[in-house]
Structure 1
Amino acid sequence: MGISKAFVASFLLSLFLVQLVQAIQPNQPDNISTNKDPSTKIDCGGACAERCKLSKRPNLCHRACGTCCGRCNCVPPGTSGNYESCACYANLTTRGNKKKRP
Structure 2
Amino acid sequence: MVEIVECAPRCEDRCSKTHHRKPCLFYCKYCCAKCLCVPPGTYGNKEVCPCYNDWKTKEGGPKCP
Fold match by TM threshold 0.5? yes
Using the TM superposition, give the Cα deviation of residue 44 of structure 1 relative to its aligned residue in structure 2, in angstroms: 0.4
Return the structure number with greater relative CO, CA threshold 8 A, min gap 6: 2
Letter in 2 for 1:60: P
Seq. identity, %: 39
Q: CA deviation at 1:100?
A: 1.5
Which runs of at least 4 in structure 1 moved beyond 6 Å after TM superposition? Answer: none
TM-score in terms of structure 2 length: 0.87
Give the match for residue 40 of structure 2.
Answer: 77
- Distance in 2 of aligned mates of 1:65 and 1:101: 6
Gaps in structure 1 of 5+ consecutive residues? 1-34
Unaligned runs of 5+ in 2: none
- 2:22 is the alignment partner of 1:59: yes
The two structures have a TM-score, normalised by structure 1, of 0.58
Give deviations 1:48-74, integer Å, cap 9, x for gaps: 000001111000100110111011000
Amino acid at match of 1:71: K
Counterpart check, 1:86 vs 2:49: yes
Query: For the pair shown, which has the larger CA radius of gyration, 1 or 2?
Result: 1
Report the number of matched residues.
64
Deviation of 1:101 after TM superposition, in Å, equals 3.5
